[in-house]
Amino acid sequence: MQPTDLPCDVVYAGREILGELSLAESRELLVTNGIGGYASLTLAASLTRSYHGLLIAALRPPLDRTLLLTNLNDAVVYLGRAYHLATDRRRAAAVRRQAARHRAHPAAFAAPTPDYRTHVPVTPARPDPAAAALAPVYSPAGAKSHADVRHDEVVSPAGFELLESFRLEGTVPVFCYAFADALLEKRIWMKHGQNTVYVTYRLRRAVQAIQLRVKALVNHRNHHSRTSASRPHFNYSVNVGRDGSAVSVLFVTPDHQETTLCMRVSSGTAELTNEWVTGFVLSEERARGLPEVDDNLHAASFLLDLPPGGCVTFVASSELDAMRLSLDGDAELAMQHAYEKSLLHKFENARGRSTERQAALADQTLSPLWNEAIFDDRLSPKSMKKRRRASVEPCIKQLVLAADQFIISRGGGRSVVAGFHWFTDWARDVRRTYSSLSTMISLPGLTIVTGRYDVARSILQTFSKYVSKGMLPNRFPDDGSAPTEEDYNNADGTVGF
């Protein structure tokens, strides 16, 4: 059931976009947690940037953003047939090497040996549909042509072909997969103020239960960098909890910094895999002239049974209390919706208290879509007002919610992220810095128009701590250190302040 007070169809994509890989990968989703962490994928649920992943945690909020959970490669078995929902773009040579390993050591993998000629798993003597779902899908180069896939790459599996629709439910991405006569919805959101991501699977339509197998691909790297399986820049250990439904991955860096990623499911069991999956092609990084290949660790798989109408919850977190996090996906989603509704309520209150002139200014500030209506002489003020409220209101709500994604907590105060994926609040990266003037320019639209006056006050107080000789620093170091005298090099930010 869709929440009635939240925009649910403003951002929508159907088969005309999702069925074409180049179009689906040209659009991206973003989920944030309010402390600098985020989740981001393409609408094909694939990886094309080093900044894509399901949990990029801000280990020193809002800095030190680290990829921990890369993706969930999910597959289902329904009516005796396996369907792969994931979409991977990989180097063909890496796929061949992995196929050879599986053929050479079939006992090490709970799956039949793939037939590389037809990229269909060879049925074992006693077919096991659940095992078939775990089987990697191997496609030889050229087996399926896509406009932007090079000859040395393969797209396998190609779960985007099963995507029926994509939409934002408030800020929560909803993937809808259709296979046979079944319909499966997948939602992703982050817990506000925590490095925690929730993923739920709800079987909307089916004549019998499905078997769901979720492969957790993990990593531990700065979101700017890459990982090589042959030379990983971290040590790790993977363990299954006593109840068999939780997996913890301990990462240890060369400077002895430890990070624990805990993954749990509301029902089902976990199986350790501990296998490197290599050769993921990040096509957007190639377009930027940067290294394009990344490797990820398949730490474990989760096996779940999902009846018609049922819902299962997956949660991954780097928080210290990760094992105590709720596994009630419906309750956690309701909390997320309640938070978003509170943002819209503040906006409506601010709008109601505004004068007519201020309301018109807010309308123009929030939505360029309204400019045509405001300056169209053929529309009377009465019909113009009716058109605005009837057709544009959901767009305005979506923009109000999007504005919240740029507001973060920092050291007890609030600040503004310059942008995603690689910007922080006070710097773009270690080489290029971000002007405080940009924060001041964005402040009215992000906080005043949306009715978040307490946040505006906190942001100004945060920046006021760094006033020196009547000036704000024009830039701030990305490592979190205090600005130096060289950073107070112009008056732009001060004028905006």
**Is residue 161 situated within a structural domain?**
yes
Is residue 103 in some structural domain?
yes
Q: Tell me the C-alpha distance between 134 and 131, whole Å.
A: 5
163 or 106, which is more confident? 163
User: pLDDT tens digit string along 467-492?
Assistant: 887 888 776 665 566 777 777 777 76
How confident is the model at residue 109, as a pLDDT? 45
User: Average of pLDDT values for 207-233?
Assistant: 97
- What confidence score (pLDDT) does residue 197 get? 99
**Residues 314 and 435 grouped into a single domain:** no
Q: Please state which of the ranges 28-37, 123-132, 340-349, 457-466 shows the lowest mean pLDDT.
A: 123-132
Residue 338 lies in a domain: no
Q: Does residue 199 sit in the same domain as residue 75? A: yes
For residue 487, give the amino acid letter: D
* Cα distance between residue 363 and residue 29, in whole Å: 25
- Which tens digit of pLDDT belongs to each residue from 76-92? 999 999 999 999 999 99
Q: Check whether residue 397 and residue 420 sit in a common domain.
A: no
Looking at the structure, tell me whether residues 294 and 276 fall in a common domain: yes
Whether residue 168 sits in one domain with residue 87 = yes
Q: Do residues 89 and 130 both lie within one domain?
A: yes
Mean per-residue pLDDT for 370-385? 46
Look up residue 424 and give its two tokens.
């922080």
pLDDT of residue 350: 84
Domain membership of residue 112 (yes or no) is: yes
- Euclidean distance between CA atoms 481 and 137, whole angstroms: 47
Angle, nearest 10°, between helix axes 356-366 and 393-404?
Answer: 70
> Residue 425: pLDDT band by 50, 70, 90 thresholds?
low
- Assigned domain for 346 exists: no
pLDDT range class, residue 1, cuts 50, 70, 90 = low
Report the amino acid identity of residue 201. Y
Contacts of 299 (CB under 8 A, 6+ apart): 216, 217, 218, 238, 247, 249, 263, 272, 273, 274
Main-chain phi, psi angles of 293, to 5 degrees: -110, 135
* pLDDT tens readout for residues 317-357: 999 999 999 999 999 999 999 999 999 999 988 877 654 55
The whole model's pTM is what?
Answer: 0.84
Q: What is the pLDDT of residue 253?
A: 95
Whether residues 320 and 284 fall in one domain: yes
Q: Are 395 and 10 in contact (CB under 8 A)?
A: yes
User: Is there a single domain that holds both residue 316 and residue 291?
Assistant: yes
Residue 392 belongs to what domain range? Answer: 354-404
Is residue 99, in this structure, part of any structural domain at all?
Answer: yes
The secondary element (H helix, E strand) that includes residue 175 is strand 172-179
Q: Determine the Cα–Cα distance for residues 11 and 166; give it in Å rounded to an integer.
A: 8
Asked whether the predicted pLDDT for residue 426 surpasses 90, the reply is: no
CATH of the domain at 53: 2.70.98
| Domain count for the chain | 3
- In the predicted structure, residue 220 carries a pLDDT above the cut 90: yes
Arithmetic mean of pLDDT over the chain: 83
Is residue 367 located within the same domain as residue 318? Answer: no
Residues 109 and 173 in one domain: yes
By three-state DSSP, how is residue 244 classified? coil
